[in-house]
Amino acid sequence: MYDYQLICSEVCKIAKETGAYIRAQAGKLTQNQIEEKGLHNFVTYVDKTAEEQLVTALQKLMPESGFVVEENTISKIGLDYNWVVDPLDGTTNFIHGIPVYCVSIALMLHSQVVVGVVYEINRDECFWAIKGKGAYLNGKPISVSDSKVVNHSLLATGFPYYDYSRVQQYVELFTWCLRNSHGVRRLGSAAADLAYVACGRYDGYFEYSLSPWDVAAGSLLVQEAGGVVSDFMGDKNFINEKEIIATNPYIYTELHQQVKQAFKL
């Protein structure tokens, strides 16, 4: 049995080291160094190098573990443990010089996230959680907000940028949220959105067309900070479902009902 506290401490160091590399590369990109993996889905040498650094360090920490990574720098699935890694969540922000992007690292034991770290690079904020042990920001305990209704809440989302199959339903939900909340924010980093729900800056967050590396670490932060996380149907096995709702425990039912109504679920 691994000491998750020790592992989490090491992962925080690894995330910060890679974050320092990413920060040092900010503003150095040229247009011909930006690749398009798909519609409006970008990757740079910074993403790839950062991922290689993370994989190397995490392999040393747990040699038998496998990886689920965004940039495909390694192909290895572990029998029990797998790291789910986004080396630069918020690549579009990074490309355009918008200072909201994160390193996101989760450790999964079979289907359960047991360690989650999100390092927001430009604010030097390291969020971490261990299953059953609470959530923390730079070493201090954090908790979700206590807003009781959506009308008194600040929400976050991510705009569809390549999968427009449900955009009309999304617009319906977005319109309802605009009319019935303190507002809706869009940072451009799912990891940061989830971390902000965990520490109470946002009261709730929803998005679709996501990947496991977008949500694995951040979802544990929210859960360990006292929040609720599910897919749009309400299923708690959301890591691979490409959609997420994350809120404090008070507004979940209200927001979830609106999600189901808008998406005709």
For the chain, the structural domain boundaries read: 4-141, 150-262
Cβ(53)–Cβ(82) under 8 Å? no
Q: Which residue, 168, 65, 150, is CA-closest to 110?
A: 65
Helix (H, G, I), strand (E, B) or coil at 27: coil
Structure-token pair, residue 59: 């392999």
Half-sphere exposure of 16 (CA within 13 A, CB side): 13
| CATH 3.40.190.80 corresponds to the domain 150-262 | yes
Q: What are the CA-CA distances from residue 136 to residues 15, 93, 133, 196, 242 (Å)? A: 15, 25, 10, 12, 26
Cα angle value 40/46/50 (rounded, 5°): 115
Domain 4-141 homologous superfamily, CATH:
Fructose-1,6-Bisphosphatase, subunit A, domain 1 (3.30.540.10)
CA-to-CA distance for 168 and 233, rounded, in angstroms? Answer: 18
Q: What is the pLDDT of residue 43?
A: 73
Residues 6+ apart with CB under 8 A from 2: 62, 81
Instruction: For residue 7, give both structure tokens.
Output: 């592992």
pLDDT of residue 38: 54
Burial class (CB in 10 A: 0-12, 13-18, 19+), 96: exposed
pTM, two decimal places? 0.94
pLDDT recorded at residue 36:
67
- Give the model's pLDDT for residue 211: 94
Task: Tell me the Ramachandran region of residue 67: left when phi exceeds 0, alpha when psi lies from -120 to 50, beta otherwise.
Answer: beta
Locate all alpha helices (DSSP H) within 104-166, ordered by sequence. none
Average confidence (pLDDT) per 10 residues, the chain, 265 residues: 94 98 87 64 83 96 93 84 97 94 98 98 98 98 98 96 89 97 98 98 97 97 98 93 96 98 95
Q: Report phi then psi at 123, rounded to 5.
A: -95, 0
